[in-house]
Structure 1
């Protein structure tokens, strides 16, 4: 067995039936011209033949005496590929809404911890001579960005290349660390805890003082909303794409980045959605936004630390879309500049502090008794910039499907893909009705931003 880093094992410790903690993605493909009616069935058989599984996707979680009671990874040398790789079909012609309903059901079920923590669903019968894939992998195994990289590795830019291999069979450039064997020391178990506790309070205090001086949004300043309630295990999923040319043109007119525009679209959609539910608070909603700090003025000992967490006021209390966008741009720019003044250790500590409030939610009563650390997470995961293919089928859409925590009934994740911006919106089925309306609100928000920019 191989010891599991404490940051990864936390996703297993916090998971429950109401809170599945896997990341997932929905992809849409055009079936190649001239392909027969059995194309997807044959593709499924071809994928099952790719039984040379890389070590990462053989890992299953175990804990016992040999791991001192801590979670560890063990290699499954008898993996049942037919269990993990599944063929489904929609009743033809399968509407996109039916596809999203299927993904909603699949996304609400837990992964089997007695097996490697991933599933791949091949879905036939999508209208427009298309098929879809839905992949879910536990967050203890990969994060959203790593999952996207796994997808890209199995694709090609050549539509004539019919020798593509599925992600579990594609060998990474850097081999995964083997997990078979019995090496497991007590020092390895405790090292992650020591690292986590080794962030000195003085570092946090210094960083907090800097943030206050810059008037940045701090944790627990968000209003309590219908988004911040105890959640159940069932999910709703909605997805749609917008042309990247529209987003970039709007960015040129307003001086905003693609991420700023996405945040403003989300803010406008949230305002409309909450007004529809008669539940818009007077105070602005706050989003937790993971951001890349690559290129920021970090100290020379940054050693690759390029990710921070920003709390962004979405200005949902402001009716004017132009003013709302301007506030978002200013907030994000100020936060990035402030982080550029901090050391990597301060960025790590403060990012953990920003996101750490959500970790209190599993404590009974905390969601009701405390204000939310933030209202929702909005993240942007970079995707492929070129047209991509798998076994001759063109990838036409890739939609992230993220996870929810107690007190966080909505998540918005988006990715770029060959000239489009693809939004994936996940909500608690019990808490948030009519989530499909959110897609119309996103489109309306973009239209009003374009009109405001002239």
Structure 2
């Protein structure tokens, strides 16, 4: 009966009438040769649910919200409340699918049951089907989410045999009693002051790497002093300014969502990385920067300072793969949206992300997790939604959240049907802005999933078009300016 960490619980606290804190994915399948039906999906889940803790656990909440909830095993999961089927009206294209899934994505999960749903959508053009799966972010991060997905997929059309859960594992299942939860809550309350001080001390050395806080006068000096007093005398990479401009993307969001999804060839992204230097992730960030710049410029709303993106980074260790929940850190990176030239923009993004990665590797504390420990559980649950709305309107810490999740470069199968694409769909909050861009590399393609609040981004498909255009622009420039670019910025492609 593991207890949620403060970071896990924070995703529960973020939820409100306008925020649903689940992550999702849309698998587009060619069902030929398989049996992709609701009954087949339900049978597959019965056989394999025990491979993923996120699918078999529900919340057990202490009375009055005095402490963080617990995960308890739910061996009798009723799939009638988790697996659904619907059919698109003709013509069954991507626009109809996105409209249908937008309505599903904006609905909250039932906290009295395991926090996930799976939807089979038929009626897509060309005989395809879609499987949309959402899981609460309190239960998974990017790595554990990939593990959950892998538990249901196969390497061949023929499903693999999976050993059932051992009887001894079932016997170990249990729930915390009321007295156990009250004792735990009292213990945490008694030690909250010490934990708050410890978290603040650990966070002090990372103030200059935190969005919004790093722009305050004296934050750099305070960070260096805190590290020096803590015995850390290492020199750190110089970080660029992390002051997010106020844009039309920021401010309190509504509860409505709009989705869009599309792909670019992964070989083009890798070729751009080789030609201009850097990593696949650098190119992804630069493409997002180019798309946001042109989209905002089109509306006369481009700020003169660069947008700031938050980038989740998995810090899950091999020994912790079986634990549900989140083990992630966060980098803040300026996107160089104020730079008109696409190659100069890529160079700036590469420089900024490199510094952020080196700084994260040298950090002695995970400021994201530490900040979640500062407030006691009852206060965090009450304060988070209201505080998020106030801060987002006056001082947005970031403009957008961008995530790039690496995936397998070979075909996978679900119930015998081949997965053609997999589009991730993430979370929107008041603090993170009105649009989220997540991409997943799979079988030779980079699949983008965009989720937006229509009051901030009324044409999310238009933004997707700018993403694809930004990638095409880099592809065209490879043939004509690759050598010139490398010479100009002094990139050594052998060393990095």
Q: 1:388 corresponds to which residue?
A: 412
The CA deviation at 1:269 is 0.7
Q: 1:112 to 1:324 in 2, by over 3 A?
A: same
Q: 2:275 corresponds to which residue?
A: 253
- Map Cα deviations across residues 55-83 of structure 1 (whole Å, 9 max, x no partner): 54232223244985542334445432111
Structure 2 residue 251 is matched with structure 1 residue 229:
yes
The CA deviation at 1:383 is 1.8
Q: 1:433 to 1:198 in 2, by over 3 A?
A: same
Q: 2:489 corresponds to which residue?
A: none
Which of these residues, 344, 368, 377, is aligned with residue 393 of structure 2?
368
2: distance between equivalents of 1:150 and 1:109? Answer: 21
Report the structure, 1 or 2, having the larger strand content: 1
Which of these residues, 344, 347, 368, is aligned with residue 364 of structure 2?
344
Structure 2 residue 376 is matched with structure 1 residue 316:
no
2: distance between equivalents of 1:45 and 1:61? Answer: 22
Structure 2 residue 436 is matched with structure 1 residue 438:
no
- Map Cα deviations across residues 164-197 of structure 1 (whole Å, 9 max, x no partner): 78xxx9869xx79845353546347629956565
The CA deviation at 1:264 is 0.8
8 Å Cα contact 1:239-1:425 kept in structure 2:
yes
2: distance between equivalents of 1:412 and 1:179? Answer: 39
1: distance between equivalents of 2:357 and 2:89? Answer: 48
- In the alignment of these two chains, the number of paired residues is 428
1: distance between equivalents of 2:461 and 2:96? Answer: 12
User: Which segments of 5 or more consecutive residues in structure 1 lack a partner in the other structure?
Assistant: 296-304
8 Å Cα contact 1:145-1:382 kept in structure 2:
no
Q: 2:131 corresponds to which residue?
A: 133
2: distance between equivalents of 1:39 and 1:307? Answer: 34
1: distance between equivalents of 2:176 and 2:371? Answer: 36
Matches within 5 A, 1:241-280: 241-280=263-302
Which of these residues, 425, 450, 457, is aligned with residue 425 of structure 1?
450
1: distance between equivalents of 2:80 and 2:114? Answer: 13
2: distance between equivalents of 1:362 and 1:414? Answer: 30
Q: 2:79 corresponds to which residue?
A: 81
Which of these residues, 30, 33, 40, is aligned with residue 37 of structure 2?
40
Q: 2:422 corresponds to which residue?
A: 398
The CA deviation at 1:12 is 1.6
Q: 1:333 corresponds to which residue?
A: 354
Q: Secondary structure at the match of 1:94?
A: coil
Q: 2:175 corresponds to which residue?
A: 180
Q: 1:294 to 1:83 in 2, by over 3 A?
A: closer
Report the structure, 1 or 2, having the larger helix content: 2
Q: 1:185 to 1:197 in 2, by over 3 A?
A: farther
Which of these residues, 380, 402, 410, is aligned with residue 378 of structure 1?
402
Structure 2 residue 156 is matched with structure 1 residue 158:
yes
The CA deviation at 1:48 is 7.0
- Point out the more displaced range, 328-337 or 194-203: 194-203
1: distance between equivalents of 2:80 and 2:315? Answer: 41
CA RMSD of aligned residues (A): 3.4
8 Å Cα contact 2:441-2:447 kept in structure 1:
yes
8 Å Cα contact 1:264-1:324 kept in structure 2:
yes
8 Å Cα contact 2:257-2:453 kept in structure 1:
yes
The CA deviation at 1:91 is 2.2
2: distance between equivalents of 1:88 and 1:350? Answer: 39
Which of these residues, 183, 187, 190, is aligned with residue 188 of structure 2?
190
Q: Secondary structure at the match of 1:216?
A: coil
8 Å Cα contact 1:216-1:335 kept in structure 2:
yes
The CA deviation at 1:375 is 0.7
1: distance between equivalents of 2:284 and 2:360? Answer: 21
Q: Secondary structure at the match of 2:429?
A: coil
Q: 2:304 corresponds to which residue?
A: 282
Structure 2 residue 201 is matched with structure 1 residue 216:
no
User: Which segments of 5 or more consecutive residues in structure 2 lack a partner in the other structure?
Assistant: 209-219, 225-235, 318-325, 375-382, 480-496
Q: 2:30 corresponds to which residue?
A: 30
Q: Secondary structure at the match of 2:457?
A: coil
The CA deviation at 1:90 is 1.1
2: distance between equivalents of 1:101 and 1:65? Answer: 39
2: distance between equivalents of 1:26 and 1:260? Answer: 25
